[in-house]
Structure 1
C-alpha cells in the first residue's frame, strides 16, 4: 500500500482508541461481527478484516487503505441501539444527508465503473463475480445487475447499462435505506468508491491483492 499522509495515521489512531473504549455488549449481534479475545472480526466484501487495539489488518495481515479502515471503525462506532428494517433500495442521492457528497459519489464511484467497463460488459460481469457479487434480478431494465455484501448489514447493488449508439455506459449503485442507520454519508460514499476501485483493479489483478 502506498504511503499515506501523517494526518491519516493520527485519524486512524483516534478511531482505534474510540473503538477500544466501546462497550461491545450487543454490538456483535446487531452488526454481524465476531469478537475473539481483544480483536473484532468484520466481513467486508466477503473478506475478514481484524480490528485490534493497535491496528487494523486485512486477511493477509497487512494494513488496509485509509478508506477501508475508516469504514470499518465507523461501522462499529455508529452501531444503532434499535435498528429498523427498512430494506427499500434507494440511490445515494436519496439519502437525507447525502447532498454535500452526491457529486463526489458520482465522480469516484459510479462514473469510474462506467468509464472502465464501457463496451466490456463481460469484463464487468467477471469482476463482479470475482469480488463476491451475486447476479441479482433487480426488476429494473438494465444490462447487468449484481448485489454485493459490503458489510453484514450494508448490501450494495449495482445496475449497469452498457454504451450504445445513443447513450454512454451508465452505472447506478443502490443501498438499502436502512444503511443510514449503520454508516454516515461520507462512509457510504467511500464504500461506493472502494467498490469502484476494486472492480477496476480486478481487470488485471488477483482478488487477494485488494486492500
Structure 2
C-alpha cells in the first residue's frame, strides 16, 4: 500500500481496536481467533488484526484495506436486505459520485459483456454469489458479495442490431448501512475491475 493509505488503515484499525465491539465477529459476520477476525472480502480470505489487514496471498489494491477497515468500523447487527435492489443514485448523498460510479463500475464492463456471460459461473463462485432472476429486463444477471453484508446485482444487456451492450449495477437495499456512500462507490468500481481481471485470466494464452 502507499504510505498515505497505510496511515488511513492504521488509523481505522486503532479506532476499531481501541474499543473493540464485543459482537464484531457476529456483525461482520466472520470467524474470531483472539484478536484476529477472518471473513471473505472481494473474493479472497481476509484477516483483520490490530496492526494490519491481509487479503489473499498476494498484493491487492491499496483502497481495499481502507474499505475493509471502514466496513469493520460500520459493522452493525443489521442483516443484509437484498431486495428491492437499489441503483446507486437512490442512496442519499450519492450525487457527487454518480458520474464516476457509472464510468468505473458499469461502463467499464460494457466491452466485456460476451466474455462475462461465458465466465458467469466462475465470477459468481469467486464472489460467493448466485444467479438471480433478471430484474427489470436484461439478458442475464448475477449477484455478487464483495463484502459479507453488501451485495451487488449486475444486470447485462447484450448488443444487438439497434443497441450496444450495457450494464446496470444495483446494490442490496440497505448497503449504505454498512459503508459510507463514497465507500460504496469504490466497492462497485473494484468489484468490476476484478471481474475484468478474472475474464482476462481466463482468456489469456496458457
What is the TM-score when the length of structure 2 is the normalising length? 0.86
Give how far 1:27 is off. Answer: 2.4
Instruction: Specify the alignment match of 2:23 in structure 1.
Output: 26
Find the aligned partners of 2:114 and 2:80 in 1 and give their Cα distance.
37
Instruction: Specify the alignment match of 2:37 in structure 1.
Output: 40
1:42-71 Cα shifts (integer Å, max 9, x gaps): 2214432001111111232x4532221111
Give how far 1:20 is off. Answer: 2.1
Q: Among residues 115, 118, 122, which one is paired with 2:117 in the alignment?
A: 122
1:115-171 Cα shifts (integer Å, max 9, x gaps): 3x1444534525524534321113432111001122221111110101222112111
Find the aligned partners of 2:80 and 2:30 in 1 and give their Cα distance.
18
1:72-121 Cα shifts (integer Å, max 9, x gaps): 111111123x6376542111111012111111111111110113x14445
Instruction: Specify the alignment match of 1:181 in structure 2.
Output: 177
What SS does the aligned partner of 1:202 have?
helix
Find the aligned partners of 1:131 and 1:84 in 2 and give their Cα distance.
22
What is the TM-score when the length of structure 1 is the normalising length? 0.84
Listed as ranges, the gaps of 5+ residues in structure 1 are: 207-211
CA gap 1:53/1:92 in 2 versus in 1, 3 angstroms? same
CA gap 1:141/1:46 in 2 versus in 1, 3 angstroms? same
CA gap 1:63/1:24 in 2 versus in 1, 3 angstroms? farther
CA gap 1:14/1:85 in 2 versus in 1, 3 angstroms? closer
Give how far 1:28 is off. Answer: 2.0
